[in-house]
């Protein structure tokens, strides 16, 4: 996929961003495996498991996915003639340094004042990135491209997601606003960031994975869908704290979630009808699965699923590992590597590992809620299902990290060139 058709993809700009994102991806999978090992074999870790969980999820956001997308956006939208290398270097190294400090502080002290300081610093870099894009981005050239409009929606959601983050440290340090408002702020940040920014950006990569013309024209229909997406995404970002709102707003949030699910199905079904490759099919199936979960989230019968921690974790990994990480990784591999057999096998091992990891998480999620359906007497018998799911999830994560390590070794010559 060296030729990216009409969109002029600047490989040089994106390379360092992708290379270091890969490095962070290895770290987060490693942390995920450490947690899986601890759950599967009941091993107590040297620091509390929540510390590792926070380090894992925040590094996934700060170091892996965010900067990966920054590299991608700079590569298609920055005007080479206006580019400021100094500004880009400050953004790049600043993000890497803060990711490193945040990782250490989360592992050693969990959600502490120190980790909150680093997280807040990171927010300034995101705003700095958005400002850079606004000032130096190509404005007219791609204005009719669907792809550029999706990027704009995602960056807008990135900016919106930063608003509550200024409130969170003030609230944590001074107690201002009380627990309810703090909880809404934290959930709004996490959901608008992961759904509005990261997940929406995955759709841009999906256009490339289709191996067709990614520079699709913006039709009237897609413009309406995009305009609708913004308010819907704002409401969907309030979904995790829905129980804290009055009933009328809850109904609005659930309706937005339903519409969001339908929108995703429309987009995928419009993309899916032509030539397909297995990665595209893999990601599309997961998007459909996620969209169905978005639709049923508000139905009373399914409240049990939504309130189950294991289902929430399954949902998060379908979105962030199965859809988003697969899209970035396969995009980078297709763009930078020749399609020889070693690369092909590594990609297949990676996808199989991700698929089995998600299936194991489904088993764990089912084992966690089935007793509520069939009575607690069966709950004890289901503990073997729970434990088998944990062991399967641990084993499935091993091929994921091995294949990513192999790909990383192939990437090293690319890093040297930088
Ligand atoms: C094979 C790769 C991965 C493995 C083995 C893994 C494993 C885990 C485990 C064991 C947990 C904690 C579960 C619990 O507490 O019961 C977790 C949580 C989480 N993971 Fe992953 N994970 C992987 C990839 C990813 C990726 C790629 C992302 C995002 C880009 C991600 C984002 C998250 C998030 C957001 C949480 C929830 C954290 C929280 O509730 O505080 N994971 N993961």
Our measurement of the distance from residue 364's CA atom to the centroid of its chain's CA atoms, rounded to an integer in Å, reads: 21
Q: If 0-12 CB within 10 Å is exposed, 13-18 middle and 19+ buried, where does residue 135 land?
A: exposed
pLDDT at 23 over 70: yes
CA distance 56 to 24: 10
CA dihedral 80, 83, 85, 87 (to 10 degrees): -150
pLDDT of residue 307: 73
Q: 363: closest CA among 61, 39, 32?
A: 39
Q: Whose CA is nearest to atom 25 of ligand 1?
A: 321
Which whole number is the average pLDDT over 104-126? 91
Report which ligand 1 atom has the smallest distance to the Cα of 39.
10
Q: Whose CA is nearest to atom 15 of ligand 1?
A: 53
Q: How far apart are the first and last CA of the chain?
A: 20
Which whole number is the average pLDDT over 20-25? 92
Ligand 1 pocket mutation, candidates 27, 29, 45, 57, criterion most atoms within 8 A of CB: 57
Q: Ligand 1 center to residue 54 CA distance, Å? A: 9
Q: 414: closest CA among 15, 69, 11, 43?
A: 15
Report which ligand 1 atom has the smallest distance to the Cα of 65.
30
Q: Ligand 1 center to residue 52 CA distance, Å? A: 10
Q: Ligand 1 center to residue 57 CA distance, Å? A: 6
> If you average pLDDT over every residue of the chain, what do you get?
85
In which band, very low, low, confident or very high, does the pLDDT at 415 lie, cut at 50, 70 and 90? low
Q: 4: closest CA among 398, 334, 366?
A: 334
Task: Give the model confidence (pLDDT) of 252-311 as tens digits.
Answer: 999 999 999 999 998 888 777 666 678 888 999 999 999 999 998 777 666 666 778 898
Residues 6+ apart with CB under 8 A from 198: 61, 65, 66, 69, 320, 324
Beta bridge partners of 78: 137
Report phi then psi at 145, rounded to 5. Answer: -85, 130
In which band, very low, low, confident or very high, does the pLDDT at 1 lie, cut at 50, 70 and 90? very low
CA distance 62 to 201: 15
Poorest-pLDDT segment among 55-69, 99-113, 141-155: 141-155
pLDDT of residue 141: 53
Q: Whose CA is nearest to atom 43 of ligand 1?
A: 32
pLDDT of residue 167: 78
Pocket-forming residues, ligand 1, beta carbon under 6 Å: 28-29, 32-33, 35-36, 53-54, 56-57, 60, 64-65, 313, 316-317, 320-321, 325, 357, 397, 400
pLDDT of residue 336: 80
Q: Ligand 1 center to residue 356 CA distance, Å? A: 15
Which residue did the predictor score with more confidence, 357 or 343?
357
Q: If 0-12 CB within 10 Å is exposed, 13-18 middle and 19+ buried, where does residue 408 land?
A: middle
pLDDT at 377 over 70: no
pLDDT of residue 31: 97
Q: What does the chain come to in residues?
A: 418
How many C-beta atoms surround the C-beta of residue 307 within 10 A?
12
pLDDT at 27 over 60: yes
In which band, very low, low, confident or very high, does the pLDDT at 78 lie, cut at 50, 70 and 90? confident
Report which ligand 1 atom has the smallest distance to the Cα of 396.
1
- Looking at residue 199, what DSSP letter applies? I
pLDDT of residue 3: 42
Task: Give the model confidence (pLDDT) of 383-412 as tens digits.
Answer: 778 888 899 999 999 999 999 998 888 766
pLDDT at 374 over 70: no
Which whole number is the average pLDDT over 15-43? 93
Determine what percent of the chain falls in helix, strand and coil, rounding each to the nearest 5: 85, 0, 15
């Amino acid at each position: 996929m060296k030729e990216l058709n009409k969109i002029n993809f600047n490989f040089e700009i994106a390379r360092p961003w992708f290379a270091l994102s890969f490095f962070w991806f290895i770290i987060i999978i490693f942390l995920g495996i450490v947690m899986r090992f601890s759950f599967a074999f009941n091993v107590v870790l040297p620091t509390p498991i929540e510390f590792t969980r926070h380090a894992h999820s925040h590094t996934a956001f700060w170091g892996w996915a965010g900067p990966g997308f920054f590299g991608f956006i700079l590569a298609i939208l920055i005007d080479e003639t206006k580019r400021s290398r100094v500004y880009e270097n400050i953004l790049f190294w600043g993000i890497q340094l803060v990711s490193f400090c945040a990782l250490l502080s989360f592992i050693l002290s969990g959600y502490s004042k120190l980790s909150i300081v680093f997280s807040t610093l990171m927010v300034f870099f995101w705003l700095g990135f958005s400002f850079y894009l606004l000032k130096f981005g190509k404005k007219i050239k791609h204005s009719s491209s669907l792809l550029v409009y999706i990027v704009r929606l995602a960056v807008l959601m990135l900016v919106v997601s930063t608003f509550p983050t200024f409130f969170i440290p003030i609230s944590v340090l001074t107690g201002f606003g009380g627990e309810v408002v703090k909880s809404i702020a934290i959930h709004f940040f996490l959901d608008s960031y992961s759904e509005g920014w990261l997940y929406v950006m995955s759709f841009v990569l999906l256009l490339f994975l289709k191996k067709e013309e990614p520079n699709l024209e913006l039709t009237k229909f897609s413009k309406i869908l995009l305009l609708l997406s913004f308010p819907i995404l704002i409401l969907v970002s309030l979904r995790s704290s829905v129980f804290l709102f009055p009933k009328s707003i809850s109904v609005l949030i659930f309706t937005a979630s339903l519409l969001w699910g339908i929108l995703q199905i429309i987009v995928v079904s419009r993309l899916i009808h032509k030539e397909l490759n297995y990665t595209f099919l893999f990601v599309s199936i997961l998007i459909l699965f996620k969209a169905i979960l978005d639709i049923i989230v508000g139905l009373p019968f399914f409240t049990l699923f939504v309130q189950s921690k294991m289902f929430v974790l399954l949902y998060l990994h379908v979105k962030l590992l199965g859809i988003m990480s697969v899209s970035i990784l396969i995009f980078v591999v297709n763009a930078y590597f020749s399609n020889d057999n070693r690369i092909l096998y590594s990609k297949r091992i990676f996808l199989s590992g991700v698929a089995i990891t998600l299936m194991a998480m489904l088993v764990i999620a089912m084992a966690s809620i089935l007793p509520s359906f069939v009575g607690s007497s069966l709950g004890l018998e289901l503990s073997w299902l729970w434990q088998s799911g944990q062991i399967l999830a641990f084993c499935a994560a091993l091929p994921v990290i091995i294949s990513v390590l192999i790909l990383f070794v192939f990437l090293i010559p690319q890093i040297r060139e930088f």
